[in-house]
Amino acid sequence: MSKVFQQEEHIKNVLESVERAMYDDAGVRLKDITGVAGAGASILSGLSIGVDRIIMNPGSKFPLHIHEGAHLLYVLNGNGGLHIDGVDYALRTGDSVYVPAAYPHGVQGPLDDNPLEFLAFGVPHHPIDSHTRMTLVRNDEDITFLPGQSAAEGALVR
């Protein structure tokens, strides 16, 4: 654990930095989803903490997946959906969501023509373009929201 403040790692602007592609655990690029690396650091016993800005364009989704650690999502702009524990929830600007470690969930991109942008805080934290950032749940149903309908309206096709 570094006890020294390092400006280049500990101060990052997630609104002005370069967007990078994101990938699933098999190295497949996630269509119409990019991320901006935020501040991060190694903490206790090499465990990492960090935050990134995720930008989901219309038609995009994170399929059902898990992370090794817990994370918090904070919606900066837009409307989308969250599928967790078999239930669909509408997300809108200002919402915050806690997702426990190793808990299957999916995120539906914007349900209109505007991008869905959110901050993702994670412990442990993996880089935006890392293939270890998430693990897809491949033995479950694919989750797809119908265009133009909100998650709260039960707009799923299975």
At residue 55, what are phi and psi to the nearest 5 degrees?
-120, 120
% of the chain with per-residue pLDDT over 70:
87
Buried b (16+ CB within 10 A) or exposed e, 2-24: eeeeeeeeeebebeeeeeeebbb
Rounded to whole angstroms, what are the CA distances from 14 to 28, 34, 103, 151? 24, 12, 26, 27
Q: What's the pLDDT at 2?
A: 52
What gap in Å lies between CA 158 and CA 25, rounded to an integer?
A: 23
What gap in Å lies between CA 73 and CA 121, rounded to an integer?
A: 6
Give residues with Cβ within 8 angstroms of 151, minimum separation 6. 80, 81, 82, 83, 88, 89, 90, 91, 108, 111, 145
Rounded to whole angstroms, what are the CA distances from 27 to 32, 55, 96, 133, 153? 15, 19, 28, 11, 33
CATH architecture of 7-157: Sandwich (2.60)
45-94 pLDDT, tens digit each: 788 999 999 999 999 999 999 998 899 999 999 999 999 988 999 999 99
Q: What's the pLDDT at 145?
A: 42
Q: What is the pTM of this model?
A: 0.81
